[in-house]
Amino acid sequence: MRVRISVDPPYLRLLQMLRDEGPLSRAELADRLELTRPRLLAEVERLVGAGYVAEAGMAASRGGRRSTLVELQPRLRFAAVDLGASSIDVEVVNGRLEPVAAYTEAADIRSGPKNIVHRVNELLAKARIDGAYERLDGIGIGVPGPVSFRDGVPVSPPIMPGWDRFPVRELMAREHGCPAVVDNDVNIMAIGERHGGVAHSVDDFLFIKIGTGIGCGIHLHGDVYRGTDGCAGDIGHIQVDPQGPVCSCGNTGCLEAVFSGVGLARDATAAARSGASPALAERLAANGVLTARDVADGAAEGDVACIRLIRDGGHRLGSVLASLVSFANPSMIVIGGGLAHLGHLLLAEIRSAVYRRSLPLATGNLPVVLSELGSRAGVTGAAVLASHVAFEQAS
């Protein structure tokens, strides 16, 4: 497997440092970027003129003449959009990626790209009217399906009818007059967790999203590995049971079909109707439908069938992850997505399968942990991507 190790130019590293650390002195920037003082001053002057940075007063004395602090232009604004199978999350953030406006609402991705993109634009328009921004400098968007990162379009997404090759990036960039970037939702969650979650400063890790679907964000050498065509990490369609249920992709027995939000609800309904789970039968009678949350609640109450469903799913997922561990040898595995609320019962089963089925050398120092950012992992990663695509314009 070929891994591309990117070396960012000085101006991009400068902007990222100011984004992640806040105001820094010119002297410190020159030292850390290993630039001569005249070169650093020229870079800063250019970025001030381009509207990306601003002076922010005087730094503390380092024994000589006091240096000027430099910060990101306070006016900078990025939009972060995380589209799920059944939800829309939108945030507008400042240059430090701190939210200044946030909106979350239920939405069905199957209603089609025009409806969803129109609603995203309405939410961003509301943020502008409410004073969150005057103009946007970059937009990051995550979608729950395979994406051609190069072209900014979804490609044959199994749970997104009508979205194939829809020009999401082009339309959003045109609508808001700024650069945009589109990626798979699990990739942006991995980026978010790396930026501000439990994987902060971890260069090699796997982020596993368990929700309506199952996916894996692969973070290697400090960057997301997307593969040649952008579909690396699509582990939900690895076959785990040749006799299993039909998956949304058309194949049978995929991991996603066996264990996901949809699969768990299906198996929970079967357990309720067969009488195997009194707790689920009671919830089904009361609500008419069952969800993964019902299974989690039943397990917390000690319902044997609910516990078994979670353990069986965790074992299936853990067995697939064990193969990935043997292949990629990551430093950490992070579990996130909607089904992460199944908690430590699920986590324990995943850990058991991974540690039992992988070589000791690969698991001796391998933590398997829950996401620290939870539901904000996606918008956080989308904001990071939005800032990066905006900063690239400073060249």
Domains and CATH numbers, the chain: 10-72 (1.10.10.10), 77-193+376-394 (3.30.420.40), 201-372 (3.30.420.40)
| Predicted local confidence at residue 174, as pLDDT | 97
| Predicted local confidence at residue 212, as pLDDT | 87
| Predicted local confidence at residue 249, as pLDDT | 87
| Predicted local confidence at residue 230, as pLDDT | 84
| Predicted local confidence at residue 59, as pLDDT | 67
| Predicted local confidence at residue 6, as pLDDT | 45
Q: What is the pTM (predicted TM-score) of this model? A: 0.92
The span from the CA of 15 to the CA of 72, in Å, is: 7
| Predicted local confidence at residue 3, as pLDDT | 36
| Predicted local confidence at residue 224, as pLDDT | 95
| Predicted local confidence at residue 282, as pLDDT | 95
| Predicted local confidence at residue 60, as pLDDT | 65
| Predicted local confidence at residue 214, as pLDDT | 94
By CB atoms closer than 10 A (0-12, 13-18, 19+), residue 59 is middle
Bridge partners of 150?
A: none
Q: What are the C-alpha distances in Å from 83 to residues 164, 217, 264, 314, 375?
A: 15, 16, 21, 25, 12
- Which residues in the chain land under pLDDT 50? 1-6
DSSP H helices, the chain, are: 10-21, 26-33, 37-50, 113-129, 168-176, 185-196, 255-258, 261-274, 278-287, 292-300, 304-328, 343-357, 360-363, 377-391
By CB atoms closer than 10 A (0-12, 13-18, 19+), residue 79 is buried
| Predicted local confidence at residue 5, as pLDDT | 40
